[in-house]
Structure 1
Amino acid sequence: MGKKISIAATADPVRAYHHGALRPALIAAAEEVIAERGIDGFSLRETARRAGVSPSAPAHHFGDSRGLLTAIATLAFTGLGDALEVADREDYPDRRSRILAQGVAYVRYALAHQARFDLMWRSPLLDKAAPGFAFASRRAYVVMEQAVLGDDSGGPFGPDHAPAVACWSMVHGFARLAMDDAFPVKSGDSLDDMLDDLLAGMLSHLDV
């Protein structure tokens, strides 16, 4: 699973409140639970226990489990958008190279943050109308779409968005298979060593 974040089980809840650290502590504890138990094993009670606070404490910051999970998914989309923007800052010789760089950044983010990545797409568990979530998810997609359609594409899911959705679908599927360890890796290599070539080969089948 994704990188594990350690939370001190004996954290002083009063100290956390006074220093404004309860919200990030609960988010980190929730991510730890998801990484260990999967999203279906998530619970607010276990999250509170690991953060060292009362079972009712998460409600003060997030309202309910949906609010907490939406906060984590918002951070996840923000991180993905950041990773894609960093990849997009290079001066690429052609559009295909730019698209490939986006795809590689997408897959590497998924592999580095597997618990968050799993949660990002679990729509029934999230409040997709939350302003922070809506902005972060839209921003991540716009970066990808502009790589495919050009910087003046006009925003997500425009009238000619099919090529962008095709690239996204292929890269997302690749990321999911990579997370599931589905690709045969040559002896002495790692998936990271092979990522550029594998993804480039897949994207070559798209007319972009």
Structure 2
Amino acid sequence: MPRSEESADPDASPDRGADSPESLQRPYHHGDLRRSILAAALEVIADQGPAALSLRDLARRAGVSHAAPAHHFRDRTGLLTAIAAEGYALLAETLSAADGLREAGVRYVRFAREHPAHFVVMFRPELLRTQDLELATAQALASHSLRSAVGSVPAEERGEDARLAGVAAWSLAHGFATLLLSHNLDDAVGERDPEDVFRALGEMLFRSAGS
């Protein structure tokens, strides 16, 4: 029988040390604990990937009891879901300020470079509670921003199928960003600004489409 996401999570079980003398001496309400845990988690993910994430380790880093992060995130899956939701909200904000589809692609690449830990988690549904309301809302906002950018392109340039045009634009930006973060484009990009390189790619494709 498949294990539930809670039982499969090593941090989901009750913390036996939550009422220990050490934990009782360390109050979990210290400033913005939720933000502190999120920030620490993003550092771990950026350095070692999502698999290295542990609520117990994050609690130790924050100097609080092992049980304290669970007050905000329930378990590791909840923490990763919160990170993904935050990432999609940031992406939606980034895309909404774009002037046209090509600039939206540039901003997508910029988002991935500035928020690599968010970017890694956002597209790993097996790590998330995909039905989470906050996550679903943020995803919808990001999708709306992308559709708006696609809609700004005249139909004769993007074709009649706006949805397929959106998939094409997303694939280009996401593929470039993923290859960039994994250092597979180091030789191709060289010393150039990756955003300028992506703009050049976009111009090449648009010229090809119009020929």
Q: TM-score, normalised by structure 2?
A: 0.76
Cα drift, residue 85 of structure 1: 1.0
The answer to whether the 8 A contact 1:185-1:191 is kept is no
User: What is the aligned partner in structure 1 of residue 172 from structure 2?
Assistant: 170
Q: How many residues of Structure 1 are paired with residues of Structure 2 in the alignment?
A: 178
Question: Is there any run of 5+ residues in structure 2 with no aligned partner, and where?
Answer: 1-24, 154-160
Cα drift, residue 122 of structure 1: 0.7
Report the aligned-residue RMSD.
Answer: 2.4
Question: Which AA in structure 2 matches 1:124?
Answer: E
Structure 1 or 2, whichever has the larger Rg, is: 2
Cα drift, residue 51 of structure 1: 1.5
Q: Note closer, same or farther for the CA distance 1:182–1:23 as it changes in structure 2 (3 Å cut).
A: same
Q: 1:114 aligns with which of 106, 113, 116?
A: 116
**Whole-Å separation in 2 of the counterparts to 1:169 and 1:114:** 17
The answer to whether the 8 A contact 2:109-2:195 is kept is no
Q: Alignment partner of 2:69: what SS?
A: helix
User: What is the aligned partner in structure 1 of residue 51 from structure 2?
Assistant: 40
Q: How does 1:1-208 map to 2 (within 5 A)?
A: 14=27, 17-19=29-31, 21-88=32-99, 98-150=100-152, 161-183=163-185, 184-185=187-188, 188-202=191-205, 204-205=207-208
Cα drift, residue 110 of structure 1: 0.4
Q: Note closer, same or farther for the CA distance 1:146–1:193 as it changes in structure 2 (3 Å cut).
A: closer
Cα drift, residue 172 of structure 1: 0.8
**Whole-Å separation in 2 of the counterparts to 1:40 and 1:130:** 21
Cα drift, residue 190 of structure 1: 3.3
Q: Alignment partner of 1:164: what SS?
A: helix
Q: TM-score, normalised by structure 1?
A: 0.77
**Whole-Å separation in 1 of the counterparts to 2:190 and 2:105:** 24
**Whole-Å separation in 2 of the counterparts to 1:171 and 1:139:** 18
CA offsets, 1:42-84, max 9 Å, x none?
Answer: 1111111111112211111111111111111111111111111
**Whole-Å separation in 1 of the counterparts to 2:76 and 2:176:** 30
Question: Is there any run of 5+ residues in structure 1 with no aligned partner, and where?
Answer: 1-11, 89-97, 152-158
Question: Which AA in structure 2 matches 1:200?
Answer: E
| Structure 1: 4+ residue segments shifted above 6 A | none
Percent of matched pairs sharing the same residue: 38
Q: Alignment partner of 2:108: what SS?
A: helix
Cα drift, residue 150 of structure 1: 4.8
The answer to whether the 8 A contact 1:100-1:203 is kept is no
Q: Note closer, same or farther for the CA distance 1:161–1:192 as it changes in structure 2 (3 Å cut).
A: closer
Q: Note closer, same or farther for the CA distance 1:176–1:187 as it changes in structure 2 (3 Å cut).
A: closer
Q: Note closer, same or farther for the CA distance 1:147–1:136 as it changes in structure 2 (3 Å cut).
A: same
CA offsets, 1:162-201, max 9 Å, x none?
Answer: 2211211121111111112222346653324423213332
CA offsets, 1:117-150, max 9 Å, x none?
Answer: 0000010111121111111111111111122135
**Whole-Å separation in 2 of the counterparts to 1:204 and 1:78:** 32
